[in-house]
Amino acid sequence: MSFSLTWLPTVLLDAGLKVAECPGWANLGRSEMGTVEGVLCHHTATTIRSGNMPSLNTIIHGRSGRDALPGPLAQLGLGRDGTYYIIAAGKCNHAGAGIWKGITAGNTHFIGIEAENIGDGSEPWPEIQLDAYARGVAAILKHINRGVEFCAGHKEYRLPPGTKNDPNFDMNDFRRRVQDIMDGRSAPVVIPKEEPAGLIRQTLRRGKANDAELVKIVQGKLGLTVDGFFGPITEAAVREFQRGKGLVADGIIGPKSWAVLDTL
């Protein structure tokens, strides 16, 4: 049976964000969540400088060794390119002992977002990732009807003070950015086109007004029934194709997916 946070991908997609659903995410969690009161922000502290979300497997399955902790370690992962990975719909081990706005059971009442970053100041935060971070938080807070004060950094929540340093950016500045988004004062950062000049094809995704002829091309290359309708069957096939090619499995045909499809 699915856990309760199955609304997460819809809320993020409706905010115009890129979303990749991890296999089995709706049934993943330590247990059921309590009432969701806010969002707790983290960085992964990865040691891997390449790749979009190298910490994904650890967030899903947990850590081993001296500081072992069973997964999942957050409901959401945020890649360097601004893609949200939907990891779990239930309670996760991300908060630990702490307090924020009188809430002490962080795992029970806060959604955790693990953003990919080394976290020691040596890796600049890409603007596309920071923008997605703020827009995702704003979308979740609006959905649960909470103000920006219910967004906290792990370093602000965790006790004793100084135990954690994540995320390694100024949380007051970040909350102001989230508030601007919630108030409609901030335009999204646009991902630049990556296709060659003269070959700018529409990005295709489920639930949008797609060019039927382009959808037919995709369906033909993936061995599907060619009907020009980008529905759940086409989306599932696109995700499977993307996983097999090492792409972000978000079910969206954008410039990178088009480039790989062109080789088929």
Scanning the structure block, which residue is given the tokens 């070959």? 199
Structural domains of the chain, with CATH? 5-182 (3.40.80.10), 193-264 (1.10.101.10)
For the chain, percent of residues with pLDDT exceeding 90: 74
pLDDT tier at 193, thresholds 50, 70, 90: low
pLDDT digits 0-9 by tens, 23-49: 999 999 999 999 999 999 999 999 999
State how far the Cα of 180 lies from the Cα of 223, in Å rounded to an integer.
Answer: 45
177 close to 127: Cβ distance less than 8 angstroms: no
Q: What is the pTM of this model?
A: 0.79
Mean pLDDT of 102-123: 97
Q: Looking at residue 75, what is its pLDDT?
A: 98
243-263 average pLDDT score: 87
Q: Which residues does 228 contact at the CB level (< 8 Å), separation at least 6?
A: 212, 213, 215, 216, 219
Q: From residue 116, how far is each of 76, 104, 140, 234 by CA, in Å?
A: 11, 26, 19, 29
Residue 174 contacts by C-beta under 8 Å, 6 or more apart in sequence? 41, 133, 134, 151, 153, 167
Q: State the Cα angle at 171 between 167 and 173, rounded to 5°.
A: 130
pLDDT tens-digit readout, 83-102: 999 999 999 999 999 999 99
Which of 68, 84, 71 minimizes the C-alpha distance to 28?
A: 71
195 has a pLDDT exceeding 80? no
